[in-house]
A and B are shown apart, each in its own frame.
Chain A
Amino acid sequence: MNAVDGPGYLDEPQKSGSELNCPVCAQTLHDLAKLNEHLDRIHGFGEVSNEDADSVNTQLTRSRNVVENSSKAAKANRFELKRDHWIKPVMGKSRCRTCSKSLTQARQAINCRRCGEVYCKNHCNLIIKLNSNAEYNPLTGEWCKCCINCFGNRAGYNEFGAVCNKTSMFKELRGSKVEDKQLRKLQLENRFIRLANGIQQINNQSSKSMLASIRKYTEINKLERSVVPWTPDEAAFACSLCSKPFTLALRKHHCRLCGKVVCNESQTNCSNQLPLMSLIRAASDLPISTEFVDNNAEDVQIRICSACVRILFIKRKFTRELSLPEPSILRIYENMRTTADVILSILPQVLNQAEEFSATPNAPDVALLTKMRRKLLDSFALYDRLTKQMLKIKPKNPAEERIQRAIVFRASMLIQEHMLPLRSLTNAASTQNSSHETTPESERSMNQGYGNNLSIKEVKEYRDQLMVLKEQKFLVENMIASASKQRKFDEAETLSGNLRELNEQVEMIARALGEEGFS
Chain B
Amino acid sequence: MNLFQVSDFYIDRIVNSKSKSVLNGSLDKPRIKALLLDKDTTGTISMCTTQSELLEHEVYLIDTLENQNRDVMRHLKCLVYAKPTDETIEHLVKELQDPKYGEYQIFFNNTVAKTQLERLAESDDLEVVSKVEEVFQDYQVLNQDLFSLDVRSSKLFSHQMIWEPSGLADTTHSLISLLLSLKVKPLIRYEAGSRLTSKLAKEVMQEIHKNERALFDFPVMDSPPQLLILDRHQDPLTPLLQPWTYQSMINEYIGIKRNVVDLSKVPDIDDSLEQVVLSSKQDPFFHDTMYLNFGELGDKVKQYVSSYKDKTKSNAQINTIEDIKQFIGKFPEFKKLSGNVSKHMAIVSELDRQLQVQHIWDVSEVEQNISAHMGDSQVYQDLKGVLSDERVSGFHKLKLACIYSLRNATSPHMNEISATLAANVSPEELNFFHHFNSVFQTRTKSANTGKEREDLISELAKKFNQKGQHKSDNVFMQHVPDLSAILSDLSKNKLPEDRFPFLEKPGARTFCQDVIIFHVGGTTFEEARIVHEFNSGMAGDGGGKIRTILGGTTILNTREFLNDCREVGQGSTELTDLL
Chain A interface (Cβ < 8 Å from any Cβ of B): 1-6, 10, 25-27, 98, 122-129, 136-139, 141, 143, 148, 151-152, 154-157, 159-167, 169-170, 173-174, 177-178, 181, 314-315, 318, 321-322, 324, 326-327, 330, 333-334, 337, 397-400, 402-403, 406-407, 409-410, 413, 416, 420-421, 423-424, 427, 465, 468-469, 472, 475, 479, 486-488, 490-491, 494, 497-498, 501-502, 505
Contact = CB atoms under 8 A, between A and B. Distances in A.
B492 A26 contact: yes
Contacts of B309: 490
Contacts of B543: 123, 126, 148, 151-152
B216 to A, nearest CB: 9
Contacts of B71: 397-400
B182 A163 contact: no
Contact of A472 (B32, B70, B182, B324): B324
A498 B316 contact: yes
Nearest to A490: B312
B215 interface: yes
A127 B511 contact: yes
A154 B222 CA distance: 9
Given A26-B493, A397-B71, A160 B126 contact: no
Contact of A486 (B125, B270, B509): B270
B342 interface: yes
A25 B315 CA distance: 58
Nearest to A407: B60
A171 B313 CA distance: 64
Pairs of residues from A and B, 10 with the lowest C-beta to C-beta distance, nearest first:
A3-B508, A156-B219, A129-B222, A173-B121, A148-B543, A399-B71, A138-B222, A174-B121, A397-B71, A155-B219
Interface in B298-331: 309, 312-313, 315-316, 318-319, 321-322, 324-329, 331
Contacts of B135: 161, 163
A29 to B, nearest CB: 12
Which of B128, B221, B342, B542 has the most A CB atoms < 10 Å from its CB? B542
Contacts of A156: 183, 218-221
Nearest to A427: B325
Contacts of B511: 25-26, 127, 143
Contacts of B326: 424
Given A165-B132, A399-B63, A402-B61, 5 more contacts: A397-B71, A407-B60, A410-B55, A468-B325, A490-B309
A318 B99 contact: yes
Nearest to A401: B71
Given A148-B543, A421-B329, A424-B329, A162 B136 contact: yes
Contacts of A5: 508-509
17 contacts: A2-B507, A6-B509, A123-B543, A125-B545, A138-B222, A156-B218, A161-B9, A162-B215, A163-B10, A166-B132, A315-B125, A318-B128, A321-B74, A399-B73, A406-B60, A427-B325, A498-B315
Contacts of A314: 126
Nearest to A411: B55
A27 B183 contact: no
Contact of A164 (B9, B56, B111, B332): B111
B31 interface: yes
A472 B328 CA distance: 8
Contact of B508 (A2, A469, A490): A2
B124 interface: yes
B133 A167 contact: yes
B13 interface: yes
Interface residues of B, number: 90
Given A156-B221, A465-B321, A333 B507 contact: no
A155 B270 CA distance: 53
A170 B136 contact: no
B182 A160 contact: yes
Nearest to B514: A157
Contact of A160 (B9, B73, B120, B331): B9
Given A5-B509, A126-B543, A490-B312, A170 B222 contact: no
A157 B221 contact: yes
B425 interface: no
Contacts of A173: 117-118, 121-122
Given A10-B509, A123-B542, A148-B543, A136 B32 contact: no
Nearest to B2: A160
A166 B542 contact: no
A416 B332 contact: yes
Interface string B45-88: 00000001001100011010000001111110000000000000
Interface in B107-131: 111-112, 117-118, 120-122, 124-131
Given A156-B218, A163-B134, A494-B315, A1 B61 contact: no
A160 B181 contact: yes
A397 B72 CA distance: 9
A424 B112 CA distance: 55
B180 interface: yes
Contact of A420 (B118, B322, B332): B332
Which of A122, A123, A141, A420 has the most B CB atoms < 10 Å from its CB? A420
Contact of A330 (B13, B32, B131, B332): B32
Contacts of A170: 117, 120-121, 129, 132
Contacts of B55: 406, 409-410, 413
A487 B270 contact: yes
Interface string B289-302: 00000000000000
A162 B136 CA distance: 7
B353 interface: no
A475 B492 CA distance: 61
A410 B56 contact: yes
B338 A491 contact: yes
A277 to B, nearest CB: 25
